Amino acid sequence: MSRFGSEGEDIIGKWSEEKLDLLEKYLKAYSVIMNRQKETWLAAYYYIDAFAGSVRPKAKDDEQRYIEGSPLRALQTVPKFDGYWFIDVSPQRIERVQSLREEFPDSVIEIYPGNCNEVLVNEIIPKIPQSSKKRAFVFLDPYGLQVEWETIRALADTKACDIFINFSVMGVTRLLPKAQSPDPEVIDRLNKVMGNTDWINQIYREPASNQLSLFGQSEPTLSRETIQAEWLSLLYTKQLGNLFEYVSKPVLMRNSTNSVLYALCMASHNQTAIKITNDIFKRHEQLRES
Ligand SMILES: C[S@@+](CC[C@H](N)C(=O)[O-])C[C@H]1O[C@@H](n2cnc3c(N)ncnc32)[C@H](O)[C@@H]1O
């Protein structure tokens, strides 16, 4: 998890740097491909950062070291996007993002203060209907469970947006009590974020451990005790698959004690986007293991 430095900047762990490196790699590939499409059918393509953040967070292991946050990774991508649309709910963060206009005078930067769910649905999505021949890459990088399922649905319905989302697995597991099933308010909250809560009934049902199957073995049961971050990540990507044609495999982001914090994944209506993401993720995991 991140905390705040004295100037309001985020202090981030190694895994956040990994996430930013993966983002940067993808943006490079995306921008080259999209730029080429502009020679034929594409009118413009945009980078949308729904959780722009503090621009230059500091590294947890060395607070003298600044890291380039997602807006900088996007603004430095070559070829350039036709526009960079930054959203953040924090006025302090928005001030930092404003300063990028001076640093990147040749980039078209639009800044939207506010809750990204509202900004995306009311202000941004209406600018990129499919008929406009415009496309957008949307980075969704919340601290916790801030991205609403209806926002994802609205982005998917444009058929013009790819989303790269850092889903807070830990945000979900924290809401799941060990002993009894969650309160109705918690179920509502999870439904708002995941678009489905049937799985909750499944994990809190009575254990079927003493029921023998036809083959004489106990049915494998899914329970709160055995529920794994991997399972939740796959559940979320499966949900995304109901809205987007293609979804990448998730990469699990772990903290220094190896607990899963987030699952990073891409959802798109374009198969190539997913192929590129899976390739980048695969190389990343191979490097991690080596
Ligand atoms: C994890 S940080 C983003 C880091 C940034 N993407 C990066 O990689 O450099 C999350 C940011 O989301 C902002 N935020 C929190 N809730 C939000 C919401 N509902 N809408 C928009 N921004 C929000 C916070 O102010 C914070 O700056």
**Ligand 1, residues at Cβ distance < 6 Å:** 10, 20, 51, 53-54, 57, 69-70, 87-90, 93, 115-116, 141-143, 146
Determine the pLDDT at residue 171. Answer: 96
Q: How high is the pLDDT of residue 11?
A: 87
What is the per-residue pLDDT for 118?
A: 98
Q: For residue 165, how far is its CA from the centre of ligand 1 (angstroms)?
A: 12
Q: Domains plus CATH for the chain?
A: 3-175+229-289 (3.40.50.150), 177-226 (no CATH)
Closest C-alpha to ligand 1, atom 18: 115
Rounded to two decimals, the pTM is: 0.93
pLDDT given for residue 196 in this prediction = 93
Q: According to the model, what pLDDT value does residue 220 have?
A: 52
Dihedral of CA atoms 98, 100, 103, 108 in degrees, nearest 10, equals -100
What is the reported pLDDT for 150? Answer: 98
Residue 52 Cα to ligand 1 midpoint, Å, equals 6
Asked whether the beta carbons of 221 and 228 are under 8 A apart, the reply is: no
Per-residue burial over 156-191, b = 16 or more CB atoms within 10 Å of its CB, e = otherwise: bebebbbbbbbbbbbbbeebbeeeeebeeeeeebbe
How far apart CA 98 and CA 84 sit, in angstroms, is 12
Respond yes or no on whether the N-terminal peptide bond of residue 79 is cis (omega within 30° of 0). yes
* Distance in Å, CA 250 to ligand 1 centroid: 21
> Ligand 1, atom 8: nearest CA belongs to which residue?
70
Q: What is the pLDDT of residue 213?
A: 47
Q: Whose CA is nearest to atom 19 of ligand 1?
A: 115
Distance of alpha carbon 56 from the chain centroid: 19
The one-letter amino acid at 117: N
pLDDT of residue 36: 98
Q: Of all protein residues, whose CA lies closest to atom 4 belonging to ligand 1? A: 53
Give residue 114's pLDDT. Answer: 98
Report the chain (290 residues): mean pLDDT per 10 consecutive residues: 65 91 98 98 98 93 90 98 98 96 98 98 95 96 98 97 97 90 94 94 68 48 73 95 98 91 97 98 90
